[in-house]
Copies of this chain bind each other. A is one copy, B any other.
């Protein structure tokens, strides 16, 4: 048997802690995405075929709260995101994924400060994926901070997709599911909150794709009876797939860079 001589994969990093359960789940998704890459390339799957990867989970001040005040406040997440990125960069990683949608409000600053590495963008990956799948509109479930920063609005607009958002009551319900539910380990409450938000949106817009635009939402929404049969889109999975492609040196989706 001859074996093609391949470049070893690149080291990549994951910046998490927002929250820690979502960060841990993101590593699981990344490993799964690597397994899929290996299968797609027809390569044998074994421990040594996976890229070096680092996860740092830092006690990170609340993102949504910071976005309601001064995003550059020394009491906000900005300095922590920077020190985490700095240490990941020192470890020699080529690409970094932020395991938190809301934290992408700081994406531009992080990418500008670390031009030697690629900071992936969760909303652009998601928008590119949806466009490729032919979507023209999508429901966006997210934190208040993500809504405030217009993260998905901007990314979806660039790909010709109309964002459909819950009303104020729905947003409050989402925040409750995220903060009192997932972040405190009460998954039943989270499932109930997330499911309830979905109903009026689906009634109004029909069975359009549902972007689970906060890494805590996929930990509880899929278990809701109201989510049965809906097109749930997990941006964390799309981000994990993009990070795996970067690790294996495959062409990044040009749509992200074009965006």
Question: By the criterion CB–CB under 8 Å, are A21 and B31 in contact?
Answer: yes
Interface centre among A30, A34, A57, A58 (most CB of B within 10 A): A57
Bound: A47/B59 CA distance, A:
6
A59–B51 CB distance below 8 A:
yes
Q: Which residues of B contact A51 (CB under 8 A)?
A: 59
Q: Kindly list chain B residues whose C-beta atoms are within 8 Å of the C-beta of A48.
A: 59-62
Asked whether, in the complex, the Cβ of B87 is within 8 Å of the Cβ of A35, the reply is no
A49 contacts B59, C-beta separation under 8 Å:
yes
Q: How many copies does the complex hold?
A: 2
Cβ of B35 and Cβ of A55 under 8 Å apart? no
Tell whether, in the assembled complex, residue A47 and residue B27 are in contact, meaning their CB atoms are under 8 Å apart: no
Once the chains are docked, how many angstroms separate the CA of A179 from the CA of B46? 8
Contact of A17 among B21, B47, B56, B179 (CB under 8 A): B47
Look across to chain B and name the residue whose beta carbon is closest to the beta carbon of A57: B53
Q: Known contacts A59-B52, A183-B45; decide if A24 and B27 are in contact (CB<8 Å).
A: yes
Of the residues B45, B55, B59, B179, contact of A184 by C-beta under 8 Å: B45
**Shortest beta-carbon distance from A74 to chain B in Å:** 15
Set of chain B residues within 8 Å of A19, measured between Cβ atoms = 46-47, 50
**A59: shortest Cβ distance to chain B, in Å?**
5
A20 at the interface (CB under 8 A from B): yes
Could you say which residues of chain B place their CB within 8 Å of the CB of A179?
46
- The answer to whether B34 touches A47, judged by C-beta atoms less than 8 angstroms apart, is no
Compute how far the CA of A59 lies from the CA of B51 in the bound complex, rounded to whole angstroms. Answer: 7
Task: List CB contacts (< 8 Å) of A5-35 with chain B.
Answer: 8, 17-21, 23-25, 27-28, 30-31, 34-35
Q: Which of A181-216 contact B (CB under 8 A)?
A: 183-185
Q: Does A112 contact B (CB under 8 A)?
A: no
- Interface hits, A74-106 → B, CB 8 Å: 87, 91
Bound CA span A19–B55, Å: 15
Residues of A at the B interface (CB closer than 8 Å) are: 8, 17-21, 23-25, 27-28, 30-31, 34-35, 45-62, 87, 91, 179, 183-185
Further 12 A-B residue pairs, CB within 8 A, beyond A45-B183, A45-B185: A18-B47, A20-B31, A20-B34, A21-B31, A47-B60, A47-B183, A48-B61, A50-B59, A53-B57, A54-B55, A54-B56, A55-B55
A-B pairs with lowest CB-CB distance, top 4: A55-B55, A24-B27, A24-B28, A19-B47
